[in-house]
Amino acid sequence: MIKMITAYTEEVDELEDGVAEILGQIDLGALGKNSVGLVTCHLDFIDSGFIDELCKQLPFDIIGMSTLASANQHGQSMYAFSLTVLTSDDVVFKTCMSASLNEGNYQEEIKAIYSDTVKKLPGPPSLILTFFPFIKEVNGAVLHKTLDEICEGIPFWGSLANNVEGNFDNCFVFHNSKIDKTGLAMILVHGPADPEFVVISLPSQNIGKNRGQITKSDGCELKEVNGIPAQKYLETLGIIIKADAPIIMPLMVYYEGSAEPVALGIYAVNDDGSLLCGGEMPTGASIAIGEITSAGILASTGEGIDRIIKSKKRSGALYLPCISRYMMLAPKQSAELALISDKMENGKLMPFMIAYAGGELCPVPDETGILRNRFHNYTFSACVF
């Protein structure tokens, strides 16, 4: 069984005060035999040396990432530092971080660090918690596919690093005091973690009824739907997209054998009418068009929390909704944070943490109930213990 504890501060200018505030919210004497920490924070905490100072006083390892906003039952802000402690007597945690990844070495380096860390566990991992870097040359979907193949389908949950700056040039991942823009950090979990995953992108009323079939693709590149170029297919639905214009419209992908669709963004329009998308677009899968609205975002969040409440799990909940949800709720960007906190009864129901994701990594069950690792955009994602 896993127990969860959270701590929070916005004090970044006075390091000693901020560290003391974090430590004051954790009863170190009440920790189990094995513990580990997940951190999400504003860039200022990385630049200030706060993480190094905190790690000197923590009796366990941490992994973390920079993010747009963080929250737990102690507070919520864009300028926050949130620590989530997972502790247990019968579950073992081992942390690691890859060397700096690039287009030429990412497969080799991820395999090396994963293989080395697995050897330190008393048995095979049952779960992986991870933070991915944002690398322009190697997108999140490619890193996701690589880790899925290396770990042979062990469920993993997490996010791509992001920040408050509105771009992905200054995002960080860290493992204890090691901080890197291009490193991939993981917690390998062995034992009866028994997580439940909840992932919801859009309410059903925000998903179009027309479905097309992918007839030609290459990885994340959608080439043809129903035998015609992807861009032309969208035009038959009355949707005009241009190469130089922002595209805020998810494609709902119904992977073969999946019980629910996965929301993926369109990143770019190519000269041949194909579309570069946020995740794998396999031939034979069907797609529908989604619509993002403020009401739809909050409706999906509410539905996700309701599922969690019905699950009866009460040890703790980890939430990583997509960064786009925060932005598209403007001018009430904090509405999703507030809704989650309210439904969690500000921690009385169970401890929780929230951070915004630059891409959501969350398993979904296929039609037989077997979990399949998937990469998502625009999505509310949760891992509950």
Express each pLDDT in 103-160 by its tens digit: 999 999 999 999 999 999 999 999 999 999 999 999 999 999 999 999 999 999 999 9
Q: What is the domain range of residue 227?
A: 208-289
Domain with 228 in it: what CATH number? Answer: 2.40.10
* 221 and 327 inside one domain: no
* 222 and 107 inside one domain: no
**Residue 83 in tokens:** 């620590």
Nearest to 382 by CA among 361, 365, 366: 361
Mean pLDDT value across the chain: 95
* 302 and 369 inside one domain: yes
Residue 245 banded pLDDT, cuts 50, 70, 90: low
What pTM did the predictor assign? 0.95
* 193 and 60 inside one domain: yes
* 314 and 181 inside one domain: yes
Nearest to 9 by CA among 47, 54, 59, 52: 54
Q: Which of 243, 264, 289 is the last residue of a domain?
A: 289
CB count in 10 Å sphere of residue 163: 23
Interval 17-33 mean pLDDT:
97
* 278 and 156 inside one domain: no
Strand 317-319 versus strand 352-355 pairing type = parallel
Domain total in the chain: 2
* 138 and 154 inside one domain: yes
* 27 and 116 inside one domain: yes
Residue 315 banded pLDDT, cuts 50, 70, 90: very high
Q: Which of 225, 254, 289 is the last residue of a domain?
A: 289
* 156 and 24 inside one domain: yes
Please report where in the chains the tokens 């992977």 appear, as a residue. 255
* 27 and 148 inside one domain: yes
* 160 and 277 inside one domain: no
* 20 and 121 inside one domain: yes
